[in-house]
Homo-oligomer: A and B are copies of this chain.
Amino acid sequence: MGSLDRSLIAGLPVFGGIAPTDLDRIIGQARSLRIAKDQPVFEQEKQADSFFLLLDGHVRVVKSTPDGHEVTVRYISPGELMGIAHALGLTTYPATAIAAVDCIVLGWPSRLWPTFAADFPSFGSNAYKAVGSRLQDAHSRVIEMSTEQVEQRVARGLLKLVKQSGKKTDEGILIDFPISRQDIAEMTGTTLHTVSRLLSAWENQGLVKSGRQKVMVVEPHRLLVIAEGRDEKA
């Protein structure tokens, strides 16, 4: 487990404006975890006894329906909080979080949440702002699902991933964790077949380069045109 250092979290927006001694106190109560690829950080319906901060890696948050469908709610990037069920007034996790790659995570017992929020006002308000922006995101998703067609949603989904986790290469911008057609389908509300067809088509037009569990966006701008429906049915 090793000794945890304040510098791990010092630069993060959620801990913005918190005194060094407080940071030490915060990190002193954390335990650090290594989560292997494809392993859960926490699971839907289980008691929410911890909340987490992703230090390194990428995590996919998935909600399962009773009838076996899975919907990807969001991807978590380093520096983001997750599993903050208690901030939402829940005692169980509303979704499952799966490591998309090997991850390093800090975890705190949920009972510390109220203390943190009260003792470190900027932590509390940052966290609630994060919740607020997730609410915005969720509403955007609803709107997209209501008003856009699949092609636009997939384009938008890829652009979101690019913005969040894009890594420049000399051939384009690579989404820097393994992602399957199925994963993309689950985050855009379609099927892997349709995603595959779209990617094939885009590959032919030189918009993207993709392969097994990887997607590289070559021409973000043209993808944006599609995402915004200004495509004129190319």
Contacts and interface: CB of A to CB of B under 8 A. Distances in A.
Nearest to A146: B189
Size category, A interface: 20 to 34
A229 interface: yes
A159 B42 CA distance: 32
A89 interface: yes
A132 B67 contact: no
A25 interface: no
Given A65-B143, A135-B134, A142-B138, A128 B89 contact: yes
B229 A73 contact: no
23 contacts: A63-B139, A65-B143, A67-B229, A69-B143, A69-B146, A71-B143, A87-B128, A87-B132, A88-B135, A89-B128, A89-B129, A89-B132, A90-B132, A94-B136, A95-B139, A128-B128, A128-B131, A135-B135, A135-B138, A138-B142, A141-B142, A145-B146, A147-B189
Interface of A: 63, 65, 67, 69, 71, 73, 87-90, 94-95, 118, 121, 125, 128-129, 131-136, 138-139, 141-143, 145-147, 189, 229
